Amino acid sequence: MARLNSFHLPAQSWPSGVGEMLRFTGAEVRHMLTVLRTEPERTVRLFDGQGRTGLFRVRETDRNSALLEALSFAVHPAPEVGVTLAIGWGKSKHRDYLFEKMVELHGLGAAFWPAVRSQGKMPDEAKETWREKCLQAAKQCGNPYLPELSVLPGGLNDLIAFASGFDACYLAWENDGVERPLGPADLARGKSLVVIGPEGGLDDGEAQALMQGGFTPVTLGQSILRWETAATYCLGLGWYARQGVK
């Protein structure tokens, strides 16, 4: 069966049962009708970003909406294993790339925090444009879950408090004294948090505070990586680790 076109439907808008009809409106239906030119009797996939997916048949369309019939539903269990990244804020044109790869590699989330060497003003809350990038990636790759995106305006204090919700916490630190590599086995059980510094790296005082706060220092290898490369590498390790976890 060919890959079905996917569209996002917020959780509060879902019909309650198979056979019910749904009037689909908004930006997603405009994409369905004007860009993908979806015609009546085609089957499409909807997802809510919280683990629920469904197959729907397009019964009729007009200029601004589509009438959909619910054919089937599926609920995917919430992941019990995965990686969340805590990234020092920085001015970077590669942030959208991070969101795409996070969804494709089933990362659990990203939290941005102001580091000593951060550049630019960090927003007070996660931006809607970040979520939109995640949505577009989820429609392409089929991930039923959207990552949790947040900001930690209190810096180290917020970051250490945030870490209390994880099973393991790691600090990716470019330091000659750190010899332990981060590997898939470290990320194969439970929910892990990995801290990555901003462009310019972590300040030594920040690293010491995080280690005192319970973070294990790890190396990502001999090469000094850009933050977006380090982030993708950690997500890839987490994705690899999950392949053997049910």
H-run or E-run covering 97: helix 95-104
pLDDT at 37 over 60: yes
Q: State the Cα angle at 86 between 163 and 205, rounded to 5°.
A: 80
For the stretch 148-179, pLDDT in tens is 999 999 999 999 999 999 999 999 998 888 99
Cα separations in angstroms, 86 against 60, 75, 184, 190: 45, 28, 18, 17
Number of domains in the chain: 2
Q: Please indicate, yes or no, whether residues 199 and 224 belong to a single structural domain of this protein.
A: yes
For the stretch 103-122, pLDDT in tens is 999 999 999 999 999 999 99
Q: What is the dihedral of CA 199, 175, 183, 80, to 10 degrees?
A: -60
pLDDT at 234 over 80: yes
Cβ-contact 134, 92 below 8 angstroms: no
Residue type, 49: G
H-run or E-run covering 162: helix 156-162
Q: Please indicate, yes or no, whether residues 71 and 96 belong to a single structural domain of this protein.
A: no
For the stretch 121-150, pLDDT in tens is 999 999 999 999 999 999 999 999 999 999
Within-domain flag for 1: no
1 half-sphere exposure, CB direction, 13 A CA radius: 6
Residue 236's domain comprises 82-242
Within-domain flag for 168: yes
Mean pLDDT of all residues in the chain? 94
Q: Please indicate, yes or no, whether residues 59 and 87 belong to a single structural domain of this protein.
A: no
For the stretch 69-90, pLDDT in tens is 999 999 999 999 999 999 999 9
pLDDT at 228 over 60: yes
Q: Please indicate, yes or no, whether residues 185 and 230 belong to a single structural domain of this protein.
A: yes
Q: State the Cα angle at 69 between 63 and 79, rounded to 5°.
A: 105
Mean pLDDT computed over 49-64: 95
By CB atoms closer than 10 A (0-12, 13-18, 19+), residue 51 is: middle
pLDDT confidence of residue 2: 60
Least Cα distance to 149 among 164, 168, 130 occurs for: 130
User: Where does a domain end: 75, 95, 111?
Assistant: 75
Mean pLDDT computed over 34-52: 94
C-alpha span between 1 and 3 (Å, rounded): 7
pLDDT confidence of residue 246: 45
Mean pLDDT computed over 219-233: 93
